[in-house]
Amino acid sequence: TPTITNLNPTTGPTTGGNTVTITGTNLTAATSVKFGINSATILTNSATQITVSAPAGPPSSVSVTVTTAGGTSNPLPYFYIAAPTVSDLSPHFGPATGSNTVTVFGSNLSLTTAVHFGGNPASAITVVSDSQLTVTAPAGSGTVAVTVTTPGGTSTPGTGSPYYTYLGAPVLTSLNPSHGSSVGGDAIVLTGANLTYTDAVTFGGAPASFSAISDTQVVATSPAGAPGTVNVVAHTPAGNSNALPYVYDPA
């Protein structure tokens, strides 16, 4: 009678098709390998080892058995894992250099083994729950799909919003005008590059109200300030821009 002692791996996707190695004794001339009630395709067969292509199955645990002319083996458990999904990210933007933390939302994430931003692997994967994990984004460019891989397979970007956009660092080249009243309220045009996703503008550290007009232009309203020179900085999800001097005129 055949005996089986080990399966490798012990988990796989519900779609099947993955290779499973079965180790044991008296396995020669196996006539059938069953995953629950479903038959696997035998790929190789020796007295101590069989490799098979696993059949499809529902998300659950099933018993694997081997049958030869000598009878049917003891069962070993095999777990079908539902494929992961990615429904959302936070944030959806980040610097081209990577290294920022991104939270990934979805389902069936508990057994995550890899996360990719396009073709680039993320690092520092931390599983928070079956529906949430955090990663450190790799460097990259453009807009890419974020995918999660588990023993159940790799997610596909068919649903939700699994897309992430790499941004160049913001750059300021000029302020117009470059001076104004210390009581504030002046409209200042910031010209530069990579400004579309501007989320803050500061004058000497003081926040200003603003509107991003285009990738090269932001219009900000100067806050009040003491007479003298301060640094104006724009911020986007890619980080802070260089600083340009702005002069508050005496009242």
Same domain assignment for residues 102 and 147: yes
* pLDDT tens digits for range 152-163: 999 998 878 999
Q: With pLDDT > 70 as the criterion, what percentage of the chain qualifies? A: 100
CATH number of the domain at 126, please: 2.60.40.10
Q: With pLDDT > 90 as the criterion, what percentage of the chain qualifies? A: 98
Query: How many Cβ atoms from other residues are within 10 Å of residue 177's Cβ?
Result: 12
Give the tokens for residue 27: 């396995």
Does residue 251 register a pLDDT over 90? Answer: no
Final residue of a structural domain among 140, 167, 194: 167
Name the band, by pLDDT with cuts 50, 70 and 90, for residue 1.
very high
Same domain assignment for residues 61 and 89: no
List the domain range (segments joined by +) for residue 138.
85-167
Does residue 35 register a pLDDT over 80? Answer: yes
- pTM of structure: 0.85
When divided into structural domains, the chain yields a total of 3
pLDDT, position 232: 98
Same domain assignment for residues 21 and 72: yes
* pLDDT tens digits for range 108-134: 999 999 999 999 999 999 999 999 999
CB-based burial label for 12 (10 Å; 0-12, 13-18, 19+): buried
Cα separation of 27 and 65, whole Å?
Answer: 11
Give the tokens for residue 64: 């694997």
| Strand (E) or helix (H) holding 149 | strand 143-150
Give the tokens for residue 120: 């680039």
Final residue of a structural domain among 33, 60, 81: 81
Does residue 229 register a pLDDT over 80? Answer: yes
Mean per-residue pLDDT for 179-184?
Answer: 96
Same domain assignment for residues 200 and 244: yes
Same domain assignment for residues 55 and 100: no
Cα separation of 101 and 90, whole Å?
Answer: 9
* pLDDT tens digits for range 49-94: 999 999 999 999 999 999 999 999 999 999 999 999 999 999 999 9
Same domain assignment for residues 127 and 185: no
Final residue of a structural domain among 167, 188, 213: 167
